[in-house]
Amino acid sequence: MLLTYIAVFILGSLWGSFSNVCIYRLPESENIVSSRSKCRKCSQKINWYDNIPFISYIILRGKCRNCNFKISFQYFLVELLVAIGFLISFYFFSFTITTLIFFVLTVFFVIIFFIDLKHFIIPNELTFPLMAIGFFKSFDPNLNQYLFPNYINSLIGGISGYLIIWFIIFLYKKIRNKEGMGLGDAKLLSAIGFLFGWISIPFILFFSSFIALSSAIPSLIKKSRTMSSKIPFGPYLILGCVIYLIMFKQIIIFLN
């Protein structure tokens, strides 16, 4: 069994490496499949042995072999997060469709988190597939019906998730005459609603808003940020969703 967990961790790190490719290339509309990785400073193509998850970063001490340009620790962190996400998913759900869904969700969430954090965008190439997966998985009767509700609840969750954010955007623009959030956030919450049903929406909104407010208060006190400062809300929605999944059993018990 230990070898299986090691294999899952390695698989996660490989997908984490691919996630890094998506994080850096999708915002630039670059090819994420066929073109080889290269140094972002000297443009020298990176050899396969310098592209091994974790190991290459440690051996190269976080620097490009050719120009000594410092490689962001984000590369290592992303690989680690995806590998851990795969490991946790497999630990709880073993060889099941649920595990596969959480593998996909881990990869997509990590990519969205870091892209939105840096560029304030959530690409449609990420949210639309999540919406489709979230809806069509509802037709599998073998999935946990509490965690993954039926297609009616899924459909309501997807639509309500989108409309709630859309209404906030509409209201904010009417009051302040400027954009407050992006439709990427609406599509992300819609995808989450499709995945986990309408019941997840209020909890995820509460958790994400609480985390966002808590992280903003210190900078507001220091006046390094104002109430009108732009913040990416996608990462907070993802963190809110993770907290919802961690507290899922307690929430079900509370509702019942």
Whether residues 17 and 103 fall in one domain? yes
Whether residues 160 and 235 fall in one domain? yes
Q: Could you report the per-residue pLDDT of 88-100, keeping only the tens digit for each?
A: 999 999 999 999 9
Nearest to 188, CA basis, from 125, 136, 97: 125
Please give the share of the chain, as a percent, with pLDDT higher than 90: 59
Owner of token pair 């407010």:
213
Whether residues 233 and 205 fall in one domain? yes
Please say whether the beta carbons of 9 and 16 come within 8 A.
no
> What pLDDT sits at residue 71?
86
Give the distance, in angstroms, between the CA of residue 247 and the centroid of all CA atoms in the same chain: 18
pLDDT at residue 236 tops 70? yes
Whether residues 112 and 191 fall in one domain? no
pLDDT at residue 180 tops 80? no
Please say whether the beta carbons of 15 and 107 come within 8 A.
yes
Q: Residue 96 burial (CB < 10 Å; 0-12/13-18/19+)?
A: middle
pLDDT at residue 193 tops 90? yes
Q: How far apart are CA 67 and CA 20, in angstroms?
A: 20
Q: Could you report the per-residue pLDDT of 88-141, keeping only the tens digit for each?
A: 999 999 999 999 999 999 999 999 999 999 999 999 999 999 999 999 998 888
pLDDT at residue 44 tops 90? no
Q: Could you tell me the pLDDT band of residue 64, with boundaries at 50, 70 and 90?
A: confident
Domain end (from 102, 119, 136):
119
Q: What are the two backbone dihedrals, phi and then psi, of residue 51, each rounded to the nearest 5 degrees?
A: -125, 20
Whether residues 129 and 251 fall in one domain? yes
This prediction's pTM: 0.92
Q: Could you report the per-residue pLDDT of 16-28, keeping only the tens digit for each?
A: 999 999 999 999 8
213: Cβ–Cβ under 8 A, 6 or more apart, which residues?
Answer: none
**How many domains is the chain partitioned into structurally?**
2
| More confident position, 172 or 80 | 80
> What pLDDT sits at residue 52?
87
Whether residues 20 and 85 fall in one domain? yes
Give the distance, in angstroms, between the CA of residue 105 and the centroid of all CA atoms in the same chain: 7
Whether residues 48 and 159 fall in one domain? no
Domain end (from 119, 135, 168):
119
Buried b (16+ CB within 10 A) or exposed e, 108-131: bbbbbbbbbeeeeebbeebbeebb
Q: What are the two backbone dihedrals, phi and then psi, of residue 63, each rounded to the nearest 5 degrees?
A: -135, 155
Domain that holds residue 71: 1-119
> What pLDDT sits at residue 225?
66
Q: Residue 101 burial (CB < 10 Å; 0-12/13-18/19+)?
A: buried
Nearest to 123, CA basis, from 256, 41, 24, 11: 24
Owner of token pair 């989108």:
162
